Structure 1
Amino acid sequence: MTTIATDTRLPEIAQPGLDSPGLDPAELAARARRFADHPENWLHRVRLSADGRWYERVHLDDEHEVWLISWLPGQSTGLHDHGGAAGAFTVVLGSLEERGVTTGRVLASGESRRFGAGYVHDVRNTSTAPAVSVHVYSPPLATMRRYDLDADGRLVELATESADDW
């Protein structure tokens, strides 16, 4: 396991060398909102799974990718980053809580969150109802790293996943 020293006063951890060559986070958030605004094109694809979050990549090109994710109460991602990709997500049904290393916020239906490459967070459904969200990443995801916090509040890298793992 690798321990990454962090300033725990920061709400997110930017890791040097992970600059995204793709679209900027503001554009990703705009694309997530535009996609979310047309549920007639994707709502029929959404499934709920008691075994874990359901997710499906619904668009992929050289520039970006779009994922649909559904969340039952209590389901979460755990602390993770998106490798060298920037990202954004829009909650389209219900609400989700996003937690950085030291901060958290609840996003209601219609609200978006955007972030640069190397951002570490956990997204979870802390409500009593299902939630659905749209996620956009650029460049398309190649790796994701999973983390935990040690007793001193520092990130500890647990695993690296590749796109083949999803």
Structure 2
Amino acid sequence: MYAKRGASVTAVDTRLDHLAIAARFATEPDEWAVAPRFNPVDRWYHRLHVADDYEVWLLTWLPGQGTEWHDHGGSAGAFHVFGGTLTEDTVSLTDGHAPRVTARELGEGAGRRFGSHHVHRMTNRGHRPAVSVHVYGPALTTMTKYRVGPESLEVLTVERAGAQW
């Protein structure tokens, strides 16, 4: 369990709300096990915390860095933008219609919850580096990567935790 400067965080406060967990970790960067790092080739990530029913990750994004379309293998979660700005693109499918992509820009202090069947991609489309805190519950075991086609989502790969990231 994560402790905030002498005050214990209880299960009632955080375990049911992934965004509350992400925001709480974001308020205490001095407690992070590592300082954020930036990789010029790809986004950097580090797992900060593991609990029985969730895990917390720290990610950094230089301008132009982002993810592919992906889901979280059945885990729900949330993310909180600690610094900079990130754009989240989400895709929705409706029978008989082409996939619809919606973009949402989230700046410092903003966050978002998502369910266990959420497909998205995230990108730093800004001019400054960005840092974000992500929470997944249960802990990630797989991530599926997709291609958005004219009529549907096409599975490209399924990556396993511990083996491919």
What's 1:69 paired with?
59
Q: State the SS of the aligned residue for 1:89.
A: strand
- Render the CA deviation track for 1:96-116: whole Å, top value 9, x for unaligned: 000002101000000001101
Q: How does 1:1-80 map onto structure 2 within 5 Å?
A: 24=16, 27-42=17-32, 44-80=34-70
Q: State the SS of the aligned residue for 1:48.
A: coil
Q: State the SS of the aligned residue for 1:129.
A: coil
- Render the CA deviation track for 1:70-129: whole Å, top value 9, x for unaligned: 000000111000011001000000000000021010000000011010100000100011
Q: TM-score normalized by structure 1?
A: 0.82
Q: Is the 8 A contact 2:19 2:112 kept in 1?
A: yes
Task: Pick closer, same or farther for the CA change 1:44–1:160 going to 2, 3 Å.
Answer: closer
Deviation at 1:149, TM superposition (A): 1.1
Greater relative contact order (Cα < 8 A, sep 6+): 1
> Aligned partner of 1:69: which letter?
L
Task: Pick closer, same or farther for the CA change 1:61–1:93 going to 2, 3 Å.
Answer: same
Aligned residues: 141
What's 1:118 paired with?
117
Counterpart-to-counterpart distance in 2, 1:59 and 1:43:
9
Counterpart-to-counterpart distance in 2, 1:97 and 1:119:
15
Deviation at 1:42, TM superposition (A): 2.1
| Greater Cα radius of gyration, structure 1 or 2 | 2
User: Which 4+ stretches in 1 moved above 4 angstroms?
Assistant: none
Counterpart-to-counterpart distance in 1, 2:139 and 2:111:
19
Deviation at 1:36, TM superposition (A): 0.4
Higher strand share: 2
Counterpart-to-counterpart distance in 2, 1:153 and 1:104:
19
Unaligned runs of 5+ in 1: 1-22
Deviation at 1:44, TM superposition (A): 4.9
Counterpart-to-counterpart distance in 1, 2:84 and 2:78:
17
Q: TM-score normalized by structure 2?
A: 0.82
